[in-house]
Chain A
């Protein structure tokens, strides 16, 4: 009995332990979240200060909500993100179906390269290239409008939508479709009754990611947008260079909450047990 107590009291050698690693990890997490928490905290400051917290108030949210610039920019951002997501997710779903679940077709590596191209090029390069390209088209055709910005967003949303969709399709058991075909389902019915329902989580994850990516984009929107096309992030960067008021904190907090919610949903959907 005494021996038993002794061994229990002694700590066993932990092979996974490395000195200093846990404090550094803790520091990393604190450093990641503390600035964001401060942003949220000062958004509730009643006074016009982001240094000293006087007392609680929601007036900066009210002000932001009544600001017509914010209203217009939010509306444009939402519209842009919605349509970009719709088109990008559709394209990505089709491409995902074609590039998985069968042995690669000749030229598939080229397809991969093209689809991932927007991820491999620095955003600023894509932005100036699109600026030059759209400028030339506008000059040649005299056609202006929302379409350019939308097209630019669709381009960089496709790879983000494609990644989770492809991952989902690769995880799915191939014999499911064989079983359905074996049970008299025509190819179209196999797709509608088996493949599509099973890949839905991937499609939703892809759509959400592309929505977040489009909604948050600054650089491309800033350079490609025509006159009057101010998205919310473009409005924000203008404000940040002018001076800091808790109104930006309020808008940032709303953005943070939306993003966190969407990413959490994606996370739940992609890690859920099949």
Chain B
């Protein structure tokens, strides 16, 4: 195989009819494939990608008198992301309302990620250690609520935790508390609602990596005097780390952009970024600020995704 790398065939001119046919077929095929992806590309390009550039454009404009924008370029919306104008002194100061909403959004998203991980990890492990035939059933049971309507699920958790709800009834009956807990319309309620809504998103990728877990490695660890806690800490968690990262990203992204859950469970004092954005397009009628906020949210999600992709590619480089 001395020819490798020098390619004597390329130099000479005559091309076999077989090769010609192959070239023609390949060209035809490439055209057909582009034709086949074009409807999806056009639709998503038109109504998925293009609108994002519109709001990018709007974020550099001034707000219109009633709604919409007036086309006077300004950086106002981006400045007002974290600052606000003092009406009387005409100076700029930090916008504490926005900052508290940002920190609440990030805090709740992180809190949701942590809690779903704590509950989801044992659940995924439980499913992965079931006999093969049962696993699909358990996985189905976990994913089923996720596909049901988010509103219905939020309503269900409302009924569950409100003052006259199930939890309070049970706790009062058991005598754990003597007056009902009022968690509705607090960040805690939003936290519980988000965990409830996105728990399946944590369990599924965790399960996917635990399913591949080689239990002979765990046997080997026990054989080498590891305790149960050490096995979990030194063997299982490192091996399923890709699943932990994937699950965390999958939970973090929808949590930080949540809209329905904080709207219904949080009330006026527990707004999150999603509600702030929609308010700018609704009652506040400040489209440029709303656009800037939306892009700010998108940027945070992109950062999370980049972390995830880094993790993925690092994994494949090792494998």
Contact = CB atoms under 8 A, between A and B. Distances in A.
Interface string A208-245: 01001001101100010000000001001100110010
Interface of B: 29-30, 32-34, 36-37, 39-41, 43-52, 54-55, 58, 68, 119-120, 122-123, 125-127, 129, 136, 140-145, 147-160, 164-166, 196, 199-200, 203, 215, 218-219, 222, 228, 231-232, 236, 253-254, 256-257, 259-260, 263-264, 273-274, 277-278, 281, 287, 290-291, 294-295, 297-298, 301-302, 305
- Across the A-B interface, the 4 shortest Cβ-Cβ residue pairs: A122-B257, A25-B126, A35-B156, A129-B51
A17 B154 CA distance: 34
A241 B52 CA distance: 30
A219 B259 contact: yes
A41 to B, nearest CB: 10
B39 A90 contact: yes
Nearest to A119: B253
B155 A158 contact: no
Contacts of B196: 31-32, 35
13 contacts: A15-B222, A16-B218, A18-B236, A31-B196, A32-B196, A38-B160, A121-B298, A122-B253, A151-B43, A252-B149, A255-B148, A264-B140, A271-B136
Contacts of B43: 87, 91, 151, 154-155, 158
Contacts of A33: 145
B54 A129 contact: yes
Interface in A113-167: 114-115, 117-118, 120-133, 135-136, 139, 151-152, 154-155, 158, 162
A114 B45 contact: yes
A66 interface: no
Contacts of B278: 124, 127-128, 223
Interface in A149-191: 151-152, 154-155, 158, 162
A267 interface: yes
Interface residues of A, number: 88
A97 B36 contact: yes
B58 A91 contact: no
B155 A51 contact: no
B68 to A, nearest CB: 7
A101 B154 CA distance: 41
Q: With a 10 A CB-CB cut-off, give which of B52, B151, B260 has the most chain A CB atoms.
A: B151
Interface string A237-267: 1001100100010001001100110111001
Interface of A: 13, 15-22, 24-25, 27-29, 31-36, 38-39, 42, 50-51, 87, 90-92, 94-95, 97-99, 102, 105, 111, 114-115, 117-118, 120-133, 135-136, 139, 151-152, 154-155, 158, 162, 209, 212, 215-216, 218-219, 223, 233, 236-237, 240-241, 244, 248, 252, 255-256, 259-260, 262-264, 267, 271
B263 to A, nearest CB: 8
Contacts of B33: 98-99, 102, 105
Contacts of A124: 257, 259, 273-274, 277-278, 294, 297
A38 B156 contact: yes
B50 to A, nearest CB: 7
A233 B151 contact: yes
Contacts of A120: 253, 301-302, 305
A32 B151 contact: no
Contacts of A92: 40
A25 B123 contact: yes
